[in-house]
Structure 1
């Protein structure tokens, strides 16, 4: 059996003690009897004298003391090497319990494999805990910020209606419904991203006529795009694919809403194609495109396309990424040759 790490170090220490004790006893005995025979030969007991003489008792006691000191010395050194990483982990746990999430344990001797791995695992756990805590604080602040605006508007409108400032007519109720729909959409986006982060986003994969689903959604989005002076151009494959049609429509709607806010008036080109076992759904607008430094962050929650907190919640494209991931696929963003933005989802057709 091949030994490694801590078991190897313990075995080597035991071997050192055993070999050291044998060498001390053997060579020490030769040296003891050599000196005794040379300088005090008259005091050497006869062969019939079985009980050790007093010099031999002294030598036996001295040998035991030396062997014990050797064993204790090696045991102390080994225990110090073992306790060093364990003490570092214990100190790290105390620091983290006190709120210092930046503390990391350090192990200088990596020959104790298991102990070194323990320190590495502790540091990995501390890093994840720090990241989760920072994400939790960020999400709390971001959610509070995003919910504050629609809730404040609703509160102001309702208070105005209650105090008679606003006339309770159809126009006022329509404005209230718009705010409530926006709030509901924000809550749903937050729910989708939260489920995705906890690996609990469930999708219903089935054979779908994707072209029919996309046509249905674009028909419902005509008014939204018309207000932005935009129109849809479709280039769709009619071959059935496997996906969750509800989630794909949700992702496409988020992309279209993003385009209606930030893209120039003109065509919104929606294309689907099957290639190498994947289905690709791409949406291309007429520009002005996204700055290259923002593209790596475009699918991050609470980062709007214009990187402006007032331009939107920044959740839409994060929802798109979550839906693509749930389909075991991916989403990408790039600039077209015409200067527009292309958002493309891809997922396996045999899901």
Structure 2
């Protein structure tokens, strides 16, 4: 199974698909996670700004009346829909009325008495917004009086060489900020130093002109402080001192911190807006979270599709290959007609066509081999039977071995020798061992010599030699004479009495062409591709008068190709045939 091409193709496709899908899913998830984290960070910062602005409004207003303008301004700045609703779901304000319903989940809870530390990281430990001062909010005259006192103290310190500034707390109380050491440069506006209690802002040593007294609580602050102290003592169950720090923030001993926070919430509740749900954006604006099950499901679907397509493609690819394999096995079993049906295009179609060509070639070669064996056996059997018959007759005393019989037996022996020599020559040519000895050859002289030798045998047809110019080439004269002689013998054999056989030669810049033309019956078009085949005869009678051994033209082609040339034939039935040898002037001996 593991050696099956189908299995390997499918496994390779699945592996590639799995790797691609996993890598793509991982990259997509990572990229999406990064974008989501970035978007969440931006959303958190935006939500924090909107929440802080609404906390400031709630800390300074006992009700949400009039918040619509603030909500619209925040929506314009953030580019998102901003809406407030009560904890019961009643709408307080909406920057885009008429839009789709509010999301099912609020972005935050706006409550100045219970600040969301995720949106306000610097919130106090009691989670009460510092801007919620309630009854500690100083009226204008008290602010002005305290400002005069603190400004005077700051001016005194600066006169003594100390860096001192005045800041204002959420309730309107001014307080002093200073840094130790004489001032050598202007105060740093960005880093003014830690706040210093007014009560502790006594004159430094050597500066008796600076009043050590700090502004005490105003009438408003005393009244609010007494109310707060009563609530703290009620919670704590004992006497607890409550005071204001330098910024006007109520303080108490650490043991009463929880009671102080609870008392402050109870005291501030009438002065701040009730808790409200904050909605930023619409339901469709919310970024969906990554669904690992959804990603896994999509990945599985894609993988199944990839596997299905891979199996389909591999199966379609394997079908013609299996057909080729089956045809090859039939051929091995002896079925020379084995072929495959070629329907596909591309490489698979080319494979099927190449197999069919190979099958046809092998079938043709097998038929030629069988015909060759039959022809060789027939050609050898005839002279051997003649020789054997006469020798047995002589041995039995039936015939007398006279000179005529001896000459006949010698002729039959020469026929055998000629066939064997031709077969040997073809075998040498096939093996690439045919030896050539090229030398300069005058083609005109060579053709005259060959024509002179064959004129005596050409009793019927006329034999002429036509040479244009004096073509010369480098060739083996013996082999060239043999090739032209075979062509001439074949032409004389098929030309009737009164016909004509012509030997012609002419040359061009690179080649010399030798033509042997006759006025015989010609060759049928369907026979032309097989003329130079071994033991091929257009006339199947095997008569000594009309057909030779069938090897002469095959030898001609081998000799021409050994010289680096070619042999060809053109003919029309009833108008004779012309055989052409094209030989290069400078022979390149074939290895």
Fold in common (TM above 0.5): yes
* Aligned counterpart, 2:364: 131
Q: Is the 8 A contact 1:17 1:74 kept in 2?
A: no
How far apart are residue 175 of structure 1 and its match? 0.9
Does residue 264 in structure 1 map to residue 501 in structure 2? no
Measure how far apart 1:88 and its partner are: 2.8
Aligned to 2:392: 159
Of 546, 552, 557, which residue of structure 2 is paired with 1:316?
Answer: 552
Partner of 2:457, secondary structure, is helix
Q: Deviations over 1:185-206 (max 9, x none)?
A: 2233334445556666554433
Q: Distance in 2 between matches of 1:341 and 1:122?
A: 35
- Residue 412 of structure 2 is matched in structure 1 by 179
CA contact (8 A) 1:88 1:107 kept: no
CA drift at 1:178 = 1.0
Aligned with 2:586: secondary structure?
coil
**1:92 maps onto 2:327 in alignment:** yes
Which residue does 1:240 correspond to in 2? Answer: 472
Does residue 331 of structure 1 match 2:334?
no
SS of 1:309 mapped into structure 2: coil
Query: Aligned-pair distance for 1:151?
Result: 2.0
Contact 1:13 1:78 in 2 (8 A): no
Contact 2:505 2:513 (8 Å CA) reproduced? yes
In structure 2, the CA distance between the partners of 1:189 and 1:65, relative to structure 1 (3 Å rule), is: same
**Does 1:207 find its partner at 2:440?**
yes
Aligned residue-pair number: 311
Conserved 8 A contact 2:17-2:303: no
- Shifted more, 68-77 versus 322-331: the winner is 68-77
The question of 1:18 aligning with 2:30 is answered no
Please tell me the root mean square deviation across aligned C-alpha atoms, in Å.
4.4
Q: Distance in 2 between matches of 1:295 and 1:108?
A: 31
Residues 129 and 175 from structure 1, CA distance in 2 versus in 1: closer, same or farther, beyond 3 angstroms? Answer: same
Alpha-carbon distance change, 152 to 19 in structure 1, aligned in 2, over 3 angstroms: same
TM-score by length of 2: 0.44
Say if 2:511 and 2:585, in contact at 8 Å, map to a contact too. yes
- 1:209–1:162 Cα change, 3 Å: farther
**In structure 2, distance between residues paired with 1:95 and 1:350:** 48
Q: 1:94 to 1:229 in 2, by over 3 A?
A: closer
Contact 1:271 1:282 in 2 (8 A): yes
Q: How does 1:1-351 map to 2 (within 5 A)?
A: 10=13, 14=17, 18=21, 22=25, 69=304, 72-106=307-341, 113=347, 118-194=351-427, 201=434, 203-225=436-458, 228-229=459-460, 232-236=463-467, 238-265=470-497, 268-285=501-518, 287-290=519-522, 292-293=524-525, 296=528, 297-304=530-537, 306=539, 308-310=541-543, 311-312=546-547, 313-327=549-563, 328-334=565-571, 341-351=577-587
Give 1:249 deviation, angstroms: 1.1
Whose Rg is larger?
Answer: 2
Greater per-residue helix proportion: 1
Structure 2 unaligned runs (5+)? 1-8, 30-103, 105-290
Distance (Å, rounded) in 2 between the aligned partners of 1:74 and 1:155: 74
Determine helix, strand or coil for the equivalent of 1:18: helix
Deviation by residue 1:237-289 (Cα, 9 ceiling, x = unmatched): 5443222211221122223323443323456443322234321223344x444
Q: How far apart in 2 are the matches of 1:61 and 1:11?
A: 16
After superposition, the Cα gap between the structure-2 partners of 1:260 and 1:208, relative to the gap in structure 1 and judged at 3 Å, is same
Shift in Å at residue 141 of structure 1?
2.0
Q: Does structure 1 conserve the Cα–Cα contact (< 8 Å) formed by 2:13 and 2:307?
A: no
For 1:52, the equivalent position in structure 2 comes to: none
